[in-house]
Amino acid sequence: MEIFADPQTLFALIAALVVAGAAIGFLAGLFGIGGGAISVPVFYEIFGVLGYNPEVAMPLAVGTSLAVIVPTSISSARAHHAKGTVDMALLRIWAVPVLVGVLLGAAIARYADPAVFQAVFVGVATVNAAKLLTGGKGWRLREELPSKGVLRIYGAAIGLVSALMGIGGGAVSNLVMTLHGVPIHRAVSTAAGVGVLIAIPGTLGYMIAGYGRPDLPPDAIGFVSLAAFALTIPTSLLTTRLGVALAHALPKRTLETAFGLFLLLVSLRFLWDLLG
């Protein structure tokens, strides 16, 4: 592509990916998310600058985001687990249903219009932001988690939506848990574990979904860009533990407000793209 003949532009793209990696890692630790809410829009913009067709750029951004989430979610989950706030029993219940949902989402990705990914992103993130910014008043279904059967349904839904959004499931699983009375710090920590359940099969699913497409860039394996992955991983791993430390130092309301504002900003960005 012609853009690679311009060293200045290439340097700017590399710098953007390195900075994005730092933000992804920090957010993974701070909010218990894989960082997809920042990496998907960043990757989408960069792939657009590189001249990729939007029909390829969006699923490629989502698939690459899931790949980046693999190491950041593992790092985040281990750090939160060390603090004893991860609900391992809940993760065991969600393991299989989440996998089923993720694989279904990856299958849909091969044929869905880019607007589908963006609409799902905006809808889920906006609802979550509204809940967090209002302090959760009135946003409570019950004071405890439901039966295992209902939890499994939740798990499949979390996997499906997260695969379409290119996130580690933090935003969605946080919403589910806090609606059922789980404290925000425990929800954030457990969401980091959900990221591991989603990111690994999600990445493999997107690789398979895009495999063999002639319009993909040469560095891609299916809908995963190896170049973008390699440039964002180093800084993301460096900043994950900083996010974890801050998450456990912040008061409950401050953490909720920060997460809500972050999700709202990302929603507005994709809404602008949908309406543009």
Is pLDDT above 60 for 1?
A: no
- pLDDT of 2 strictly over 70: no
Segment among 31-45, 74-88, 174-188 with least mean pLDDT: 31-45
Which 8-state DSSP code applies to residue 111?
A: T
Whole-angstrom distance, CA of residue 171 vs CA of residue 214: 34
Flag the least confident range among 1-15, 26-40, 188-202, 237-251.
Answer: 1-15
Q: From CA 205, how far away is CA 22, in angstroms rounded?
A: 25
Instruction: Give pTM, 2 decimals.
Output: 0.75
Please identify which residue in the block is written with the tokens 């990302």: 266
CA angle 197, 52, 112 (to 5 degrees): 50
Least Cα distance to 121 among 67, 167, 155, 59 occurs for 167
What residue spans define the domains of the chain? 2-275
Nearest to 71 by CA among 240, 262, 245, 252: 240
Res. 147: pLDDT tops 80: yes
**Which residues make beta-bridge pairs with 225?**
220
Residue pair 67/60 in contact (Cβ under 8 Å)? The answer is no
DSSP class per residue in 1-50: -GGGG-HHHHHHHHHHHHHHHHHHHHHHHHHSS-SHHHHHHHHHHHHHHT
Instruction: Please tell me the distance from the alpha carbon of residue 167 to that of residue 145, in angstroms, as a whole number.
Output: 23
